[in-house]
Structure 1
């Protein structure tokens, strides 16, 4: 290799490392809070992180008001969000932050027409620092980024306080950290010679967002309203539309590859809007869904008050009802992390070090290849049944559906664990429409009673997730005389699905999701006439082969079910959730369970990661034509060779009908 080639290779390696760092350090909001019955206003919501924030709130069932300057772009964003989420309670209202008249008209409209306001996200902003003034005589960047939001927030405070437990989220930036020589008496002075995006004026406006949040939180103490500022990360959004020439070319072709995407950038905004347990941090600053120590530029305890008073005058707000309370500087509230030094490495340490590197690479591979369901579909008015939903990926699936506003039925064997799961989901999502119903898949009697109850008491069934499963029952038999593992993983779900088909068809556009496993690939020459026989003489581990056989049955069942459901609008999908650390192997002998769980716990997917494909197959739009197919990591995968025999699904169905006595009452 020549010098140039060598340099290019190292440059690519460095760029890949940078990209990995960005991806692995990006914080994601994992809160399952449901927003049904709540109202949110997001400024600048027609594009970028504002749009993604609005879409997330709509997915959670909120009434979402997109406050944007451009009516055409705003209405287009509304239509896109409605198509994505199926939540029709999304509206556009015009707001031009560069006009105090527009801000006052918008606030007057909101106060007159909305009964409540739970979340106000002051998101809109521009980055170009040109020396332009608004009709109100203020620098357009300062008014769009700070003064407009300052006035808007104050005009909506009565409604926010009336609603109770409401939140105000101000999208600031790390740029506020570098706003040196900040002078509240020179806010409207343009720094001559600085026209670039992210320059002194932009940094000044972002520090104002942070200081405004600090003072606002002090004045709101005791009202139940909290406020937060945040750094969304370095994101390539439409604010670069103000760029020109070579700067725009660089931004569009280079920065978009290395910076966060809008959906990644929106996570901290969403977190500050919905996460539980951060109320005591009102007035604080966040980044990557975590508290961060105040920047030095925001540590002066008198600065927030001075900014407030100057801002009041410049926006002609008049005397406010908010009385300032004494500020305690909390900048030292959280101890700073200390870096540790590497110890001297001997030979053993050296080997351990490289082993750790290899293990980290494996972990990175798992994290970077895990598919996430990004669908924003709202489930308000819909009903879902999830078997085995008291733990693992079943629990995470149920929590996600509850977050989206669905009525969720947890079908579990253990009543105490099921009720505990219900309580946890209701608490985490604020969705009270989550219930437990007993279901023991190892008993056909229990299955028939459960199905009878659902058919008698539920008006609709939109999603059935056959999730429950077991992994280590050896030769045990069920009360119905079938291998316990086969009945729990397959036969029970086969019977349950058939007994619920009428209500699924009546509902229309419903889905049946069967959680299978890649273990099905290892099955060779499945004998459908010998499903209930334990493979005593199997050279491979017989317990594992029974498990793999049951998972292949899930896939074959899905294929045949899809054929029989053609023309009904009911679709069905099977999936591999990934190697997930759950309770599935709890019944393994202790001698094998302990080492297996230790390995799984570190290297396998978490339950929430494993649930993503179940959620995807349940809510994603555009996959209806793939009914009967198999998925993994939220994507279609080619059928395993073990499932390619075109006659096998039908044969399995016929044998299964007889074994479960499907035609008996």
Structure 2
């Protein structure tokens, strides 16, 4: 079953998609409309736009959710007409997807020259942006004229700016405004050899629209003079690369200018569309999925980022390019680059002797990171270390005993790292317990978890009480106290002890392994929910107050009377508290990337080996967060690989 992407009800939301008559734009319209969103589909050609609208109505049954309006992003009059249409008909706009774009090139002969060039660019990124090879094998020729270059920049960059600026007033009337700029990995700054341009566009602090325009105009001036090569602009796809690099920069600028919006740019992947001469591993439908997900981000989602399909990436660096994700050679190169880059990084993983913790260690060590694997039980921890050594990871894994409830063992770990490595780069707080006992049929656990997940997606309605399985869950006061101490206070103790070592890193990361069961919708206690959801006034003291009130009510036998969860209560409260603590720490340490993640329902001891995922699959998302690029999101809750809502 596909993972759900948490969104607000779409019934009364309105979206504009540019360049929507075919390819990825058409698919973005279809997918948004299928979510119940009213989509204004736009295209320069009125005839083709109306034909696309008819297809959406006739083939997909979306007649109630799609309306066409002509739009030429180069023509201020058609932009003004669109604005007036939306203002009169809907009164506001919620989503803008800037998809209109052109390649700026012509092609003679073998079209495979295009794929070959894409792959060379991707390899250049993986090699650190070194000059691209100039000996092509395919017999085709890519040519770029001044007229093509000017039109490409006007469409991809200035066209997006014009439409965005015209629609901002209508987006301001939305309670959840979203702007998605469809970009490309070819806009990565590593592909700009011109150091001046790269310096201007990568300087986040001083970046302005005027400076971006200066870069674009300088490129066009050099193109006109025939001095593109002399000034180290890209040797091919030059206008396209510059236009997309400028678009990415513009994304960051307006995200800073409109902090209440979610504004991001995305490379949807190398897809079979007209602009790629129908080359590429992805269908237009598959490529459209990532822009649609960004358009439907929950409130509080990331803004000002570049996504390579569904993953946050860097405007400047790219390890795994979605352009060549099916290219075996490139994957091997990427793996090697990852090892080299990670050689001097150090990570601690708690609860690492089995299950997801063991797999997190294995995957991090496989990327060349030195992993300090920890566990409460020394014998089992050493056995786990031996298993990792048998997998050929002996140079990258070391074991140290750690009991997250014991300050002395935490202090011993800190001293060990300080003496042996001098700093820490990554902390993964994975240690956790369920806080329950189980008698009889273990399927009772899956039934309850399924019911809770359904409650979350149904708006947090009371959990079902008619269980079919014959098993029984037991929750004792001792079990509840140990669960809170391990899952919440244990993570706090370890984090606070290791913060000084993490501050010595140039890219500190903290990943708190949490759960969908910590979602605040499952806390029916309105006071607790109010405290933990108030981002502005949230403090550690207030989180502790919630946790202590829960334990007090548990001791008094007053859980039900105070609307605490009816099953797996301590676990839910501990994970909700951990999620809140994540947000507090992210605010306290802005130079860190600190996030929490539900790795998914996996077959481990804590789940009685139920669940659709293997421990290896579940470990992938914590590992990705541990390896986020600089400037990545912080203070967020991830449902596996995707940002979701607390």
Structure showing greater radius of gyration is: 1
TM-score over 0.5 for the alignment?
A: no
